[in-house]
């Protein structure tokens, strides 16, 4: 039909969407929306402790499946007995096992995609949820996207403003310290700690702050440039540290995961060179796994040049060999 003018039209979505202030708020919203309180969920044995804590808030029981050193996994044959299966796209990567589970499991599927700028939209008729967390991969303090093929519960509270205000204050203090040598490391680290304490002590489902909504818009506006730099940095690490790297395939890299025999010693020594690398994740309560004792991650975002990446890799090679 030929037609010009008037309000712009918009095709309907085939999924539902929402924004919250964090991955933990999104997970709570999933539990509320899927009526998973007191239900039985299958979890990976390599995960953040916060996931277990939130499930316990809702009296959810759970069993674990094993994640291998290459971040792949194999689910048990009896997965249909579970009300939901929880999958993590480690560092934004996908595996054959992930794709297979999306098509073979007929219950509720929860995809933890916190390392991606957009959570994955699944192509399945059965119930699914997928969420991310921009605070894990960007300067945005409190913003999580949640997608689902089912309506989402209307239980979101207003922004947890104390958290976002404190978080941005800490980020500003860190910027002043790193770029102008003003203040101290302790000062901004204390603020970060205070912000996390606010988030951890509040158990609701919150919307993102206005500052973070604006910051997210700005972040998405330069996403392709960011994606290219991250691809370059990740590939450089993968080439230089091929003996330690866990290869992943992702459309958007956030960290380059490594396995080190002397992880804790190397990590401590790196701090002497002002290199502070994250561990995703430490051993959590109730379950052990083959990764938590040796995994470490190098951030690959656009703060870092090829020279920076080369220096970090050289330090790791030197320290791991000692």
263 prior amide bond cis, ω within 30: no
CA-based nearest residue to 46, from 314, 293, 213, 320: 293
DSSP 4-26: --SSPP-PPPSSEEEEESSHHHH
pLDDT at 276 over 80: yes
Tell me what the pLDDT averaged over the chain comes to. Answer: 96
User: Do residues 244 and 315 lie in contact, with contact meaning Cβ atoms separated by under 8 Å?
Assistant: no
Q: How far is the CA of 141 from the CAs of 95, 116, 120, 219, in angstroms?
A: 29, 15, 21, 12
90-123 residue pLDDT tens: 999 999 999 999 999 999 999 999 999 999 999 9
Which pLDDT score, from 0 to 100, does residue 5 have? 95
Q: Please state the φ and ψ torsions of residue 20, each to the nearest 5 degrees.
A: -130, -175
Ordered domains of the chain (ranges, CATH): 16-148 (3.40.640.10), 161-219 (no CATH), 222-320 (3.90.1150.10)
Q: Give just the sign of the alpha carbon dihedral 187, 191, 196, 197.
A: positive
pLDDT at 312 over 70: yes
pLDDT at 233 over 80: yes
Which pLDDT score, from 0 to 100, does residue 223 have? 98
Which pLDDT score, from 0 to 100, does residue 285 have? 87
Which pLDDT score, from 0 to 100, does residue 321 have? 83
Cα of 44 vs its chain's centroid, Å: 15
pLDDT at 230 over 70: yes
User: Do residues 294 and 130 lie in contact, with contact meaning Cβ atoms separated by under 8 Å?
Assistant: no
CA-based nearest residue to 160, from 100, 104, 201: 201
Q: Which of 163-167's residues contact partners 24+ apart within 8 Å by CB, and which partners? A: 163/21, 163/195, 163/198, 163/199, 163/202, 164/21, 164/208, 164/209, 164/211, 164/212, 165/209, 166/191, 166/194, 166/195, 166/198, 167/135, 167/141, 167/142, 167/191, 167/192, 167/195
277-298 residue pLDDT tens: 999 999 888 998 999 999 999 9
pLDDT at 198 over 80: yes
Which pLDDT score, from 0 to 100, does residue 315 have? 98
CA distance 139 to 174: 12
CA distance 59 to 153: 19
* Locus of tokens 């002590």: 201
pLDDT at 322 over 90: no
Q: How far is the CA of 209 from the CAs of 22, 161, 292, in angstroms?
A: 11, 6, 33
């Amino acid at each position: 039909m030929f037609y010009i003018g008037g309000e712009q039209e918009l095709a309907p979505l085939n999924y539902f969407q929402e924004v919250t202030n964090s991955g933990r708020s999104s997970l709570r919203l999933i539990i509320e929306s899927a009526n998973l309180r007191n239900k039985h969920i299958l979890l990976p044995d390599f995960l953040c402790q916060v996931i277990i804590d939130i499930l316990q808030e809702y009296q959810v029981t759970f069993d674990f499946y094993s994640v291998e050193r290459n971040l792949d996994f194999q689910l048990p044959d009896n997965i249909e007995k579970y009300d939901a299966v929880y999958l993590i796209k480690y560092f934004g990567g996908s595996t054959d096992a992930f794709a297979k589970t999306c098509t073979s499991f007929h219950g509720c599927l929860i995809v933890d995609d916190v390392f991606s700028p957009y959570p994955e939209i699944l192509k399945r008729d059965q119930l699914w949820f997928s969420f991310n967390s921009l605070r894990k991969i960007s300067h945005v303090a409190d913003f999580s996207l949640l997608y689902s093929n089912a309506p989402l519960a209307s239980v979101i509270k207003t922004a947890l403003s104390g958290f976002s205000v404190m978080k941005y204050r800490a980020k500003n203090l860190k910027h002043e310290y790193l770029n102008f040598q003003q203040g101290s490391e302790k000062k901004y680290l204390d603020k970060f700690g205070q912000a996390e304490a606010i988030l951890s002590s509040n158990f609701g489902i919150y919307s993102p702050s206005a500052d973070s909504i604006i910051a997210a818009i700005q972040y998405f506006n330069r996403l392709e440039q960011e994606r290219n730099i991250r691809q370059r940095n990740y590939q450089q690490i993968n080439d230089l540290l091929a003996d330690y790297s866990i290869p992943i395939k992702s459309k958007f890299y956030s960290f380059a995961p490594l396995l080190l025999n002397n992880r804790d010693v190397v990590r401590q020594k790196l701090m002497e060179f002002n290199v502070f690398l994250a561990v995703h994740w430490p051993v959590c309560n109730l379950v052990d796994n083959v990764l938590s004792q040796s995994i470490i991650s190098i951030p690959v975002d656009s703060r870092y040049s090829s020279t920076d990446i080369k220096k970090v890799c050289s330090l790791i090679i030197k320290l791991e060999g000692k």
